[in-house]
Amino acid sequence: MFENLTQKLTAVFTRLGNKGRLTEVDVDEAMREIRLALLEADVNFKVVRELVTSIREKAVGTDALKGVSPGQQVVKIVHDELVELLGSGEPSLQPNPAPPSVAMLIGLQGSGKTTTAAKLALYLRRQGQRSLLVAADLRRPAAVEQLISLGRQLDVPFYREEKAGPSDGVRVAANGVKRAKELNIPWVIVDTGGRLAIDDELMGELEEMKKRLEPAETLLVVDAMTGQDAINAAGEFHRRVGLTGLILSKLDGDARGGAALTAHRVTGVPVKFAGVGEKPDALELFHPDRMASRILGMGDVLTLVEKAQEQIVEEEALAFERKLRRAEFDLDDFLGQLRQIQRMGPLSSLLEMLPQAMRGRLSTADIDERRVKRLEAIISSMTGEERRRPDLTNGSRRRRIALGSGVTVADVNQLLNQFRQMQKMMRQMASGKRGGPMGLGLPKL
């Protein structure tokens, strides 16, 4: 989402890099470019003016510290200002003293509330907490069925009422909370119907629902693709209902990102989560400092490590390390590594967490999801013996593998040849010899 903004800001900082001291002329030129970059990213113009003024005051006269260029110091200033803009503090859900705690999801139509409710239920389960999904969106066709389908898919309990009408949302939500208390479930996630902030009748329904439920969290789901209109509506929701936090959905989209940058400043409430994909596990805690680092091209290695830790089993990692040390790495191991990477999320999303300098070394082909699928198909078409001993794969076997995986024999040959090169490099590493490629990439098809 922030790719264009990141590129423009990086270009500004690069031009400042060779200066021993920043003059007012240098800073004015840089601030003008930063202002344009932020406005093009659909950031609220008042917020841009305040942000640029603050950066300029801190940057003028900045001396070059030993080993640190003025450009790097300006990056630090901009980073700190972005963190303040995005909201300080650690995101978390605040439960009620006595369970069940209610998380009420509200927002405009089409903002992704129902999907986000399921994602939040999965997040809570991974934190060791049970939750009950309550289908209180009774106006959108199939909304109840969608929530039930997601609940069954994730094995999360849900509450619905068969004969409830469009105006029964408050009653259904209240009954859902009662049911959670009976089942001793600590969290209730209420999926409400979408509504416009100017619809007085429907906003009144939300006010009544909040009064009845006394939720621990009233979370507005904001579609990051809709820009400043969504943020302006968020201010009205906060005025009428009283929000405790925001969830930015569709942050993996190709919009300019202005909504994400100004959501906290305009509403005054923290962004707690960000939806970064369609899958149920594509919900991340929103860390302002990490997001600022991504925007400035410094990557988000901490989140990348956390994703890896969620997917990698320690015993499997130790076993794989032993195989590498003994140069016993085979195609089964390679397939296992591919699948672990896929479980971490889309490769394009993982790439955004790498620093800009590392991303520049990767071509578009290096992150082609289709190539990963082809590699997986080729290896899956092999027998167990062929995976363990690729040298057994003669011409007839290669034709069979190509036919089974829907690729050409040349593709199979390319994978096997590059895999042999990887094995050779690993043997050299295991024996302490130098040489070979500097890093392991995906075999190219």
Q: Render pLDDT for 163-205 as a digit per residue (tens, 0 to 9).
A: 888 889 999 999 999 999 999 999 999 999 988 878 888 999 9
Whether 193 is covered by a domain: the verdict is yes
Per-residue pLDDT, averaged over 412-418, amounts to 86
Residues 415, 384 share a domain: yes
DSSP state at residue 224: G
Residues 128, 262 share a domain: yes
* Phi, psi (rounded to 5 degrees) for 52: -65, -40
Domain count of the fold of the chain: 3
Range in 67-71, 151-155, 217-221, 401-405 the model is least confident about: 67-71
Residues 109, 184 share a domain: yes
Residues 341, 309 share a domain: yes
Residues 313, 164 share a domain: no
- Please write the tens of the pLDDT for every residue from 143-155: 999 999 999 999 9
Higher pLDDT, 366 or 31: 31
Whether 281 is covered by a domain: the verdict is yes
- Please write the tens of the pLDDT for every residue from 23-78: 778 788 888 898 898 888 888 888 888 888 888 888 775 554 444 566 677 788 88
Strand duo 271-275 + 283-285: pairing? antiparallel
Q: Which residues 6+ apart lie within 8 Å of 349 measured at CB? A: 252, 276, 277
pLDDT for the residue 7 = 79
- Please write the tens of the pLDDT for every residue from 48-59: 888 888 888 887
Rg (CA), the chain: 26
Q: What is the mean pLDDT of the chain?
A: 79
Query: Using an 8 Å Cβ cutoff, are 69 and 16 in contact?
Result: yes
Whether 242 is covered by a domain: the verdict is yes
Q: Provide, rounded to the nearest whole percent, the portion of the chain with pLDDT above 90.
A: 26
CATH number of domain containing 312: 1.10.260.30
Calculate the alpha carbon distances from 415 to 67, 338, 376, 400 in Å: 45, 14, 11, 15
Q: Alpha helix (H) ranges present in 136-199?
A: 143-154, 169-183
**Looking at the predicted structure, is the pLDDT value of residue 340 above 50?**
yes
Residues 229, 169 share a domain: yes
Q: Among residues 58, 86, 114, which one ends one of the domains?
A: 86
**Looking at the predicted structure, is the pLDDT value of residue 311 above 60?**
no
Whether 296 is covered by a domain: the verdict is no
Higher pLDDT, 301 or 5: 5
Residues 381, 243 share a domain: no
Residues 396, 325 share a domain: yes
Q: Is 278 helix (H, G, I), strand (E, B) or coil?
A: coil
Query: Using an 8 Å Cβ cutoff, are 132 and 176 in contact?
Result: yes
